[in-house]
């Protein structure tokens, strides 16, 4: 039962850019072997259940990382779990009852409220468990096929269909490639539209292969569920790599069955002083603008932005400002 194919609501995920949902529809085998080999070279899912296992030496997010949650509390997974390849006629209630043996949960999918549908329109959904321990129990109950996890689920017409279960491991949100380098926010880029299964280690490797000098990569996660939001950050150890990355504007992320063009911008901070006046001309307030043009690459207060950008050749620079969700955006600058 396919609901309302023409709906504009199903074109993307809630907090993702256009086309960001491509990877939320994994090729779940209808009993066959499936694509397999996804994200090869990383830790196989089979070790998820082993409490001793983690990638601590390299991914330790101890330095200035906002993603150090988890290790202290013993939590290893997001309470939000992706489930894909659901039978098309499985209703929300049946999904809930299929998984509530692992603990209290809520079933969600992008634009669920607007769609007023009882069925996940694209055959995938998110399970939001009340307790993280439920996720571990769910993983333990899964069947592993290569590096993917499956659990059999039934709908009114389909019995025991294997659906893919994709938990998000908290430690995959950070990866330190070169711990000898300090993390310089001014050599950090924001990567928008990151496919959600992409781990920080993979983002680091892709960007390092393209531009070199990567010392850290992070996947932005939401504070409550600690689940990827579809964006990331990459810090470089040198200015040349940083400039090469932001000059490219777009990057083709290719990794296993991921192949997606994503946007790269300077990572804009909201607590920087104006680089021109150090706050003297703006009452000591943090600089609202960042100029990403390689001839500037500076933070500016309004006054200094106007002064510097009235110079020939700089009139067309566009300021970036920090946007709510870690997302820098270009704003039209008004001369006053
Ligand atoms: Zn200034
Ligand atoms: Zn400029």
Strand 148-153 and strand 143-145: the pairing is antiparallel
User: In 3-state terms, what secondary structure has residue 47?
Assistant: helix
As a whole number, the mean pLDDT across the chain is 78
Confidence of residue 73 (pLDDT cuts 50, 70, 90): low
Q: How far is the CA of 228 from the centre of ligand 2 (A)?
A: 32
Distance from C-alpha of 160 to C-alpha of 148, rounded to nearest angstrom: 17
Q: What is the CA radius of gyration of the chain?
A: 22
Distance from C-alpha of 189 to C-alpha of 212, rounded to nearest angstrom: 13
What domains appear along the chain, each with residue ranges and CATH number?
77-169 (3.30.70.330), 173-266 (3.30.70.330), 270-325 (4.10.640.40)
**Which-ligand-closest: CA of 293?**
2
**Which-ligand-closest: CA of 303?**
1
* b/e map 142-171, b = 16+ CB within 10 Å: beebebbbbbebebeeeeebbbbbbbbbbb
Q: Which residues surround ligand 2, an ion (CB under 5 A)?
A: 291, 293, 296, 317
Q: Please report the pLDDT score of residue 325 as a whole number.
A: 44
Lowest-pLDDT choice from 8-12, 147-151, 159-163, 284-288? 8-12
Q: How far is the CA of 286 from the centre of ligand 2 (A)?
A: 17
pTM reported for the whole predicted model: 0.72
Q: How far is the CA of 252 from the centre of ligand 2 (A)?
A: 26
**Which-ligand-closest: CA of 295?**
2
- Total Cβ atoms within 10 A of residue 315: 8
Strand 174-176 and strand 105-108: the pairing is unpaired
Q: Please report the pLDDT score of residue 72 as a whole number.
A: 58
Q: Please report the pLDDT score of residue 331 as a whole number.
A: 47
Most distant CA pair in the chain: distance in Å? 70
Q: How far is the CA of 331 from the centre of ligand 2 (A)?
A: 13
Q: What is the mean pLDDT of residues 264-272?
A: 90
Q: How far is the CA of 290 from the centre of ligand 2 (A)?
A: 8
């Amino acid at each position: 039962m396919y609901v309302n194919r023409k709906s504009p609501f199903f074109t993307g995920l809630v907090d993702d850019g256009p086309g960001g949902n491509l990877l939320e529809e994994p090729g779940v085998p209808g009993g066959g072997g499936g694509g397999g080999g996804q994200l090869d070279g990383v830790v196989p899912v089979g070790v998820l259940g082993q409490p001793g296992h983690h990638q601590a030496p390299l991914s330790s997010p101890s330095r200035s990382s906002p993603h150090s949650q988890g290790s202290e509390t013993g939590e290893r997974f997001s309470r939000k779990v992706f489930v894909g390849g659901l039978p098309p006629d499985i209703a929300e209630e049946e999904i809930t009852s299929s998984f509530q043996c692992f603990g209290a949960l809520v079933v969600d999918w992008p634009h669920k409220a607007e769609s007023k549908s009882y069925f996940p329109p694209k055959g995938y959904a998110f399970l939001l468990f009340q307790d993280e321990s439920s996720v571990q129990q769910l993983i333990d109950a899964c069947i592993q096929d290569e590096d993917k996890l499956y659990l059999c689920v039934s709908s009114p017409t389909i019995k025991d269909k294997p659906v893919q279960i994709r938990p998000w491991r908290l430690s995959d949100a950070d990866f330190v490639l070169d711990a000898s380098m300090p993390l310089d926010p001014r050599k950090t880029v924001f990567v928008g539209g990151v496919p959600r299964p992409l781990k920080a280690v993979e983002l680091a490797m892709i960007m390092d292969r393209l531009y070199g000098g990567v010392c850290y990569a992070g996947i932005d996660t939401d504070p409550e569920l600690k689940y990827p939001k579809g964006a990331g950050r990459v810090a470089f150890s040198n200015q040349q790599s940083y400039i090469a990355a932001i000059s490219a504007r777009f990057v083709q992320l290719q990794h296993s069955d991921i192949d997606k063009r994503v946007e790269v911008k300077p990572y804009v901070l909201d607590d920087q002083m104006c680089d021109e006046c150090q706050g003297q001309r703006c009452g000591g307030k943090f600089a609202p603008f960042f100029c990403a043009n390689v001839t500037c690459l500076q933070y500016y207060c309004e006054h200094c932005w106007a002064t510097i950008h009235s110079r020939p050749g700089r009139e067309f620079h566009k300021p970036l400002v920090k946007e709510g969700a870690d997302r820098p955006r270009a704003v039209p600058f008004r001369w006053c």
